[in-house]
Amino acid sequence: MSDFPAGVLFEHACDLLAQAAANGRLPVEQLVVARCHGRVLAHDVIAPMALQPFANSAMDGYACRHSDLRESAATALRLVGEQFAGVGLGLQVGEGECVRITTGAPMPAGADTVAVREDVQVDGASILLPAGIRAGSNVRKAGEDAQPGDLVLRKGTALNAVQVSLAASLGVDRLRVSARPTVAVFTTGDELIEPGLPLQHGQIYNSNRELLMGLLRADGLEPTAWPSLPDDPAPMGDAGGRRIELRSSDYMRRGFGW
């Protein structure tokens, strides 16, 4: 058997990492959603309400009954009110009527379709809607994205901006997440020298540390840079936080490379 260590297969390396993670669970903390970006969710999130909570317009335009519209010709409807986002006015659309509506505003009773503002012609209280508008156009239905009781975020999810926004849209103001791990980054090699210092023959600048630090920060971590270590197992073991004797045979048995 060679005194030099063998490499680690990718699948074996993944198994080692998974085992280490399973044996070292991080504590859980509860944070406001604004501080949860990049954190790992520690519980399932169940929708406490419908999303959308009410039927609303997806565009600025005119809410109407699709049954009043003609397929092959424009339709003139009578404007009977205005519905803006933020408050429900209890408006109702009857036969031959329409209501001016803004994006996000609740749909008036009786209306099921919205014609986009730019597509219509306005003549006082008469609104001319184009032909061929499909039923339900530009309407977001109540419960379209989630129903109460739906599993919307699964435990173990690494939260990104979209997922944090989803939680906020359901009225969730706090989430239980895993504590941020402490990550120490050190590089090894007798040939490494820090940027800014003069190079001697046989030396190279330590660039891997900056690469690893940048990748960890991009994943939402705040790593700590340790000094470069020489090609000596003893300092490597000490840097790991516990004194262990690392001989070539240990590396072979554990599957680690230099």
Ramachandran category for residue 207: left, alpha or beta (phi over 0 → left; psi -120 to 50 → alpha): alpha
Stretch 183-192: mean pLDDT: 87
Could you give the CA distance from residue 121 to residue 197 in angstroms, rounded to a whole number?
Answer: 72
Give the helix ranges, DSSP H, for 74-127: none
Q: How far is CA 244 from its chain centroid? A: 41
List all residues 6 or more positions away from 146 whose beta carbon is below 8 Å from its beta carbon. 47, 50, 51, 152, 170
What is the tens place of the pLDDT at every residue in 192-244?
Answer: 888 899 999 999 998 889 999 999 888 777 788 888 888 877 776 676 654 33
Average of per-residue pLDDT values in the chain? 87
Name the nearest CA neighbour of 63 among 82, 76, 45, 49: 82
pLDDT over 60 at 253, yes or no:
no
Report, at the CATH architecture level, how domain 28-48+148-178 is classified. Answer: Alpha-Beta Complex (3.90)
Report, at the CATH architecture level, how domain 182-254 is classified. Answer: 3-Layer(aba) Sandwich (3.40)
Q: Within 13 Å of residue 102, how many CA atoms lie on the same side as its CB?
A: 7
Could you give the CA distance from residue 79 to residue 229 in angstroms, rounded to a whole number?
Answer: 77
Q: How far is CA 67 from its chain centroid? A: 40
Beta pairing partners, 205 = 193
Could you give the CA distance from residue 66 to residue 231 in angstroms, rounded to a whole number?
Answer: 76
pLDDT over 90 at 3, yes or no:
no
Based on its alpha-carbon atoms, the radius of gyration of the chain, rounded to whole angstroms, reads 31
The helix/strand count (H/E) of the chain reads as 5, 16
The structure tokens listed for 115 are: 């014609």
Of 57-61, 77-81, 192-196, 242-246, the least confident: 242-246
pLDDT over 50 at 28, yes or no:
yes
Of 24-38, 83-97, 228-242, the least confident: 228-242
Say what the pTM is. 0.69
Of 1-10, 30-39, 96-105, 196-205, the least confident: 1-10
- What pLDDT shows up at residue 180? 85
Instruction: Output the DSSP codes for 196-231.
Output: TSPPPTT-EE--HHHHHHHHHHHTT---EEPPPB-S
pLDDT over 90 at 49, yes or no:
yes
What is the tens place of the pLDDT at every residue in 141-151?
Answer: 999 999 999 99
pLDDT over 80 at 37, yes or no:
yes
> Domain extents for the chain?
28-48+148-178, 56-140, 182-254
Could you give the CA distance from residue 164 to residue 28 in angstroms, rounded to a whole number?
Answer: 17
- What pLDDT shows up at residue 145? 95
Q: Within 13 Å of residue 144, how many CA atoms lie on the same side as its CB?
A: 12
Can you list the pairs that 245-253 forms with residues at least 24 positions away whose Cβ atoms lie under 8 Å?
248/3, 248/4, 248/5, 251/5, 252/1, 252/5, 252/6
Beta pairing partners, 139 = 57
What is the tens place of the pLDDT at every residue in 171-185?
Answer: 999 999 999 887 888
Percent of the chain with pLDDT over 90: 62
What is the tens place of the pLDDT at every residue in 108-137?
Answer: 999 999 999 999 999 989 999 999 999 999
Residue 56: enclosing H or E segment and its boundaries?
Answer: strand 56-57
pLDDT over 50 at 96, yes or no:
yes
| 168 three-state secondary structure | helix
At the top level of CATH, which class does the domain 56-140 belong to? mainly beta
pLDDT over 80 at 2, yes or no:
no
- What pLDDT shows up at residue 6? 66
